[in-house]
Amino acid sequence: MSRIYDFASKVVRRIYEKRINAPAILDAATEFPNSTKFIADWQSIREEAFAVRLNRAPRFHDLMPEQTEISASDGLDWRMFILKAYDVAVPENLARMPVLSRLLFECPEVKSAAISFLAPGKHIPIHRGPFRGIMRFHLGLDIPRQADGSPATVMVINDQEKRISDGEGMLWDDTFPHAVTNYANQARVALLLDVWRPRMPLDMEILSRLIVRGVQAGMRYRGVSFAA
């Protein structure tokens, strides 16, 4: 199954790369103006995230077995508290984070939302997303720091080293090669959003909607549950 997933990802990615020319790091003010709403409420979102006991949320590869290669590569936890996935809401989880739930309702361009918990020392090896129809937004909620005060979690996106701090957001294209390492002795907590890319060519808009529907159908067929 993983080989089929990898092959399909490569085919889809090549189609998008030919039709959508975009940099790895994107301008949130232009591409995702509503990002300011999430940034403004980051402390409330953090309080809600702490209340849900993230160290008991499902591991990413338990939710999506096709992600085992990157999620379970070193035996350390990458846990996800998912509130919506490709427009499929998780009512039980949304009810536990009312501030974030309100923001997601106000921002329909956000197709998926999750709180990401990276264990101390966790490394996510280099990989690529398949789907340029969406963009990835990270918002730091509890980012550990190194002795020099710099953020201890490092993202390498298309050979560029990126770090965000508490309350800082970053919009980027996850179809570029990327990896993450938490060098701290405490967990890293961040909000991850998948955001619909605006102003796509019509054929890519149609293909993107078909992909989302296909993912939704696949989740229903597998009986996937994201409740934590």
In a domain, 81, yes or no: yes
86 vs 212: CA distance, rounded Å? 6
pLDDT at 7: 63
pLDDT at 6: 64
Q: Domain count of the chain? A: 1
In a domain, 228, yes or no: no
pLDDT at 57: 86
pLDDT at 2: 52
pLDDT along the chain (228 residues), means of 10: 61 88 96 98 97 85 82 88 94 96 98 96 92 95 94 97 98 96 96 97 94 86 72
CATH number of 107's domain: 2.60.120.330
CA angle 196, 202, 207 (to 5 degrees): 65
In a domain, 227, yes or no: no
In a domain, 49, yes or no: yes
Domain residues for the domain of 200 are 2-222
In a domain, 130, yes or no: yes
